[in-house]
Amino acid sequence: MMKVILLTEVKKLGKKGDVVEVAEGYGRNYLIAKGLAVEATEGKLKELKEQKEARDRRKEKELMEARALAEKIKSIEVVLYGKCGENGKLFGAITSKDIADALEGAHKIKIDKRKIELKENIKALGVYPVDIKLHPEVSTRLKVVVKEEGRG
């Protein structure tokens, strides 16, 4: 038996970065020969541990930044203007891209439009709570106010 570090996901064996114990022939003649794994030497294990720690630190930093941004967004109100008919229905619609552009323009906060969870485009005047998923663990709500163009 020998220990190897997987360089890619191997079906029924493990994910990238996993240290697994396999038969020596399978390890040397298949996994290492095909570039799917490397032998788990002391140096390689140390390198893997350092990479994992760096990845964990980066993930923690991203989480902290997302939480700080969520707090900032929670207190913001974005105002958008659109042309509308007599009944308050907009000609056209307000999309997640419009919201992202307004957020960047007015508040210098750049958010990918795909993170803005708009169930359907906004088609009428009013105030709308819009959810934004900043991180797998962090979501916040933005207040979007849609007013008629020219009236303020």
Range of the structural domain that residue 96 is part of: 67-148
Domains in the chain, number = 2
User: What residues contact residue 110 under an 8 Å CB cut-off, 6+ apart?
Assistant: 100, 103, 104
Quick one: tokens of 30?
């298949």
Are residue 122 and residue 76 in the same domain, yes or no? yes
Its pTM surpasses 0.85: no
Tell me the per-residue pLDDT of 95-113, one tens digit each, with 9 for 90 and over. Answer: 999 999 999 888 898 999 9
Domain match, 58 and 95 both: no
pLDDT at 151 over 80: no
Domain at 43, CATH number: 3.40.5.10
Q: CB–CB of 17/47 below 8 Å?
A: no
